Amino acid sequence: MNKIKPKYRHIQNYLKEQIQQGNYKPGELLPSENDLCKRFSITRTTARKAMDGLINEGFIERIHGKGSRVKERRHTLGLLNVKGFSEAVGEGVKTVFLQNPQKAKWSNEIGLPVSENEKKTSCIYFERLRFVGETPVMLEKNWFSDTVLPGFEKSEFVDGSFFKTLSQRYLIEVVGSTQEIRAEYAHEKQGQLFGIIKGTPLLHIPIKFSTTTPKLNIYSELYCETSSYPVANSYFI
Q: Are 68 and 54 in contact (CB under 8 A)?
A: yes
Does residue 1 lie within any of the structural domains?
Answer: no
Helix, strand or coil, per DSSP, at residue 14: helix
pLDDT of residue 142: 96
Q: Are 173 and 211 in contact (CB under 8 A)?
A: yes
pLDDT of residue 76: 38
* Same domain? 52 vs 139: no
Distance, first Cα to last Cα, the chain? 39
Q: How many domains is the chain partitioned into structurally?
A: 2
pLDDT of residue 75: 44
DSSP per-residue letters across 49-98: HHHHHHHHTTSEEEETTTEEEEPPP-EEETTEEEE-HHHHH-TTEEEEEE
Does residue 129 lie within any of the structural domains?
Answer: yes
* Same domain? 99 vs 210: yes
Which of 54, 70, 86 finishes a domain? 70
Q: Confidence band (pLDDT; 50, 70, 90) for 198? A: very high
Q: Are strands 135-145 and 80-83 parallel, antiparallel or unpaired?
A: unpaired
Does residue 222 lie within any of the structural domains?
Answer: yes
Helix, strand or coil, per DSSP, at residue 211: strand
Q: Confidence band (pLDDT; 50, 70, 90) for 78? A: very low
80-102 burial by CB neighbour count: b if 16+ within 10 A, else e? bebbbbbeebeeebebeeeeebe
* Same domain? 116 vs 169: yes
* Same domain? 60 vs 126: no
* Same domain? 144 vs 227: yes
* Same domain? 60 vs 141: no
Mean pLDDT confidence for 55-63:
86
pLDDT of residue 86: 52
Mean pLDDT confidence for 10-32:
88
CATH of the domain at 162: 3.40.1410.10
pLDDT of residue 36: 94
* Same domain? 153 vs 200: yes
Task: Note the Cα 114 to chain centre separation in Å.
Answer: 19
CATH of the domain at 59: 1.10.10.10
* Same domain? 116 vs 166: yes
* Same domain? 140 vs 40: no
Structural domain including 93 reads: 75-236
Could you give the count of Cα atoms lying within 13 Å of 113 in the half-sphere of its Cβ?
3
* Same domain? 90 vs 148: yes
Does residue 29 lie within any of the structural domains?
Answer: yes
Q: Are 33 and 47 in contact (CB under 8 A)?
A: yes
Ramachandran class of 41: left when φ > 0, alpha when ψ lies in -120 to 50, beta otherwise: left
Phi, psi of 71 (to 5 degrees): -85, 150
pLDDT of residue 77: 35
* Same domain? 85 vs 65: no
Which of 18, 44, 70 finishes a domain? 70
Mean pLDDT is lowest, of 11-25, 79-93, 154-168, for 79-93
The structure's pTM equals 0.69
pLDDT of residue 69: 92
Q: Are 207 and 183 in contact (CB under 8 A)?
A: no
Does residue 192 lie within any of the structural domains?
Answer: yes
Which of 70, 87, 107 finishes a domain? 70
Element (H, E) at 164: helix 162-170
pLDDT value at 209 more than 70: yes
* Same domain? 113 vs 129: yes
